[in-house]
Amino acid sequence: MEPTIDTLKGIVAELGIDQDLLNADTLLYADLGLDSVEAVQLSLAVKRRLGIDLKLGTRNDMTLADICNMAKEEPVTSSYSALLSNPNQEIV
């Protein structure tokens, strides 16, 4: 299961950001104004939902498309593999 822009939009929307503001070229810091706490929350949500370690630094602003590309290159963690094999399983 590859992450899609729509998957990432859902994750970002969980932070309280309007999905209408989100597209593939949306910059997390410049366009959305994420602060450091929101960046950590986003990183944790992406790790939980997609199984990738997302390093968000303010010096290198990223788009949703950048995150999708990173996810395609990043190896899937074991907890995410377990979720794919048993989608009803809760990951702790």
Alpha-carbon distance of 82 to 16, in angstroms, equals 28
* Residue-averaged pLDDT of the chain: 78
pLDDT in tens, 25-61: 999 999 999 888 998 999 999 888 888 888 777 677 8
Above 60 in pLDDT, residue 20? yes
Share of the chain above pLDDT 70, in %: 75
CB 49 within 8 A of CB 7: yes
- The reported pTM is 0.69
Q: How far, rounded to the nearest angstrom, does the alpha carbon of residue 51 sit from its chain's CA centroid?
A: 9
Q: What is the pLDDT of residue 2?
A: 56
Q: What is the pLDDT of residue 84?
A: 46
